[in-house]
Chains A and B, each alone.
Chain A
Amino acid sequence: MKPKCDSVREWLGAFADGELEPGKAERVRQHLETCADCRQELDQILELGRLAKRVEHPLLADDYWDWHRTRVWRGIREHKRVPEPRYRPMFVWPKLAAAAAGFVIVLVVVLAGWRTLLMRPGRIRHVGPVGEVPGELRAAARPKVSPRSGATQPAARREAEPVAGSTPARAEGLSDELTPAPAAVRRGLEGGEAGYAAKGTGTMTGATARLGEERRVLAASETQDRTVSGPTLVESPALPDAHALDTGTVLLSVNTDSNGRVVNAAIRRSSGSARLDSIAVHQMRMSRFRAVVKNNRRVASSFEYQFRLPKKQTRSVKRDRPAADQTNPSERQYRRQSEQPDEKPDRHEATQPDKRSDKREGKRLDRQEVEQPDKRSDRQEVKQPDRQSDKQEGKHSDKREVRQPDKQSDKQEVRPPERQSDEQAENQSDSQPDSQPTRPAREKTRQ
């Protein structure tokens, strides 16, 4: 092939089609006279056109074109009726779908934000006192303990949950088995005489608790980490007598180590009394909380703790107390307990806990970590009464020390099933909380 052929071959197609400019066409014509290869290529181009025309179109029936026109008119009428129907769904539905999706997203965001706002840690929520809860609800909420086996019947929990008209917060106040946030209730139950509400900070979680009219229930979120248990006070020294006539509430910022021992306590909100603040800080620094368990490991924690110092009743004060006491039953029961430290030791006596008490707490924590980090070991102990009934007998008084007296359901939980007389007494006190003082209280009164 001659070098000149390259440029000529680019024009051969146009030359064959008669589309080449006259000057170029003349040059091609001259080249073809001397170049056989280019002549052959021109022949192939012309033959290709002839082949393509031989296979041109299908053979159609005679009436095909009538049918074709009929279809066209039908299409024209359909286009007139519904302009652009073929493409309308393509443009309309995506817009509608996008609008619907946007609405749903906005709705979800608003609801989520609202819920987060409601459950924000530190938000205080008022909940009615325990006494306002219908009796049947409390009865249903109280775990049933079999007299023989002592096994807790979970049916009681299931029965209590769907009670109509009762708010979840009230149900939480009845039993720690009722709600998925038992730590909060335990916090309320074990708050002792101080009657506190704690709220978690950082990774700490909280919940709600209600112990009386004066006690504020703190709503905290459980959304951050459900593997973390709330701050539960397990040790607290006895209040000094100096605070007898002082009362107030101090908001403390508490740091604990991995064993739950308070390493630092600072005042976040003063009670207004420097002496009271000092007592609260001192008390808190001598206290110990249940270790925070996160991912089956004890971790240090920091949280806020509301320490309330109630007015300590002296005997003279008690005599002056009006017959119709308007305070909360749990407060009255607390007073009765605090007045009889010898017969029925309260949590103040746990200033120097004995080894048995430490052992017990250690066992509790171990069990919690291995089995159910957020469940109380108390319940587990009741569920295995045969092996530990003897131990429970010995522990009973200790457990009562850290129990809130007005929490009947909790009492039942930890009470050995053999003590039927106690259960009856509790039922009586449940029905007549004011008129039935405990036996030690009566003895004290006689003295």
Chain B
Amino acid sequence: MGEPEARASDVDLIHRVQSGETEAFDELMKRYAASVYKVTYSLTRNHADADDLSQETFIRAYRAIGRFDERYRFYTWVRRIAVNLCFNHIKRAKKFRLVPLPMGDGEAESVDIADPQPVAADSGLRRDLDQALAKLPPDQRAVFVLRVNEEMSYTEISQALGIPVGTVMSRLNRAREKLRELLREYMPAT
């Protein structure tokens, strides 16, 4: 998936937001909310977490938009915020073993609106892929997701994660090796 082709107008919108026109930020959200959500979902493999993290990503982007550097594209910038949030979330979840709570009556609003079913040709494949990704270390998972799902270049990944390109390559190789082992039944026969 590539980033939206609206870079020029993104800059205009950002300028308008910086000048106090908050409605322009709503337009930016309409353009990139789905993309940001995909990133957060790919990294967390959980809709509730992806939903919260994508919202938090835009909240932080709005608060920091005054410091936006126009040398970067808006989506690259906001995706980096999302990845950092997801990384922190994964670390926290690993530390405290966060368990999603069942939704109560008071949260019916979110249940009605967002009861997503993943798009998958095979539910068994989705489950197996989820389990395989869950077994990956967070750093390897992030590199794999950003490369495969976000189609980010190694340089972009290194910038997003703050690691060298060689580290991106090695982590990606290790992630692929483990996933091939875990998803052996889906791999082409020798």
Q: Are A52 and B148 in contact (CB under 8 A)?
A: yes
* Partner of B119 from A40, A56, A68, A71 at Cβ < 8 Å: A56
Q: Is B126 an interface residue (CB 8 A)?
A: yes
Q: Are A79 and B59 in contact (CB under 8 A)?
A: yes
Q: Are B183 and A13 in contact (CB under 8 A)?
A: no
Closest A residue, CB atoms, query B34? A65
* Partner of B169 from A13, A65, A79 at Cβ < 8 Å: A13
Q: Is A60 an interface residue (CB 8 A)?
A: yes
* Partner of B114 from A19, A40, A61 at Cβ < 8 Å: A61
Which B113-160 residues sit within 8 Å CB-CB of chain A?
113-122, 125-126, 129-130, 144-145, 147-149, 153-154
State how many angstroms separate the Cβ of B184 from the closest Cβ of chain A.
Answer: 9
Q: Is B6 an interface residue (CB 8 A)?
A: no
Residues of B near A45 (CB, < 8 A) are 176, 180
Residues of B near A61 (CB, < 8 A) are 113-116
Which B19-38 residues sit within 8 Å CB-CB of chain A?
26, 29-30, 33-34, 37-38
Q: Are B183 and A72 in contact (CB under 8 A)?
A: no
Q: Are B118 and A55 in contact (CB under 8 A)?
A: yes
Q: Are A69 and B154 in contact (CB under 8 A)?
A: no
What's the Cα separation between A65 and B144 when bound, in Å? 26
Q: Is A354 an interface residue (CB 8 A)?
A: no
Question: A64-80 toward B: CB 8 Å interface, digit per residue (1/0)?
Answer: 11011101110110010
Interface residues of A, count at CB 8 A: 35
Residues of B near A40 (CB, < 8 A) are 188, 190
Q: Is A321 an interface residue (CB 8 A)?
A: no
State how many angstroms separate the Cβ of A47 from the closest Cβ of chain B.
Answer: 6
Closest B residue, CB atoms, query A40? B190
Question: A372-392 toward B: CB 8 Å interface, digit per residue (1/0)?
Answer: 000000000000000000000
Residues of B near A343 (CB, < 8 A) are none
Closest A residue, CB atoms, query B153? A19
Interface residues of B, count at CB 8 A: 53
Closest A residue, CB atoms, query B58? A72
Q: Are A57 and B42 in contact (CB under 8 A)?
A: yes
Residues of B near A58 (CB, < 8 A) are 41, 47, 116-119
Q: Is A17 an interface residue (CB 8 A)?
A: yes
What's the Cα separation between A73 and B62 when bound, in Å? 10
What's the Cα separation between A54 and B122 when bound, in Å? 9
Which A10-28 residues sit within 8 Å CB-CB of chain B?
10, 13-14, 17, 19
Q: Are B33 and A69 in contact (CB under 8 A)?
A: yes
* Partner of B186 from A19, A51, A60, A64 at Cβ < 8 Å: A51
Binding site for B on A (CB under 8 A): 10, 13-14, 17, 19, 40, 43-45, 47-49, 51-61, 63-65, 67-69, 71-73, 75-76, 79
12 A-B contact pairs sorted by A residue (CB < 8 Å) = A13-B176, A44-B180, A44-B187, A49-B148, A51-B125, A52-B129, A54-B122, A55-B119, A55-B130, A56-B1, A69-B30, A75-B55
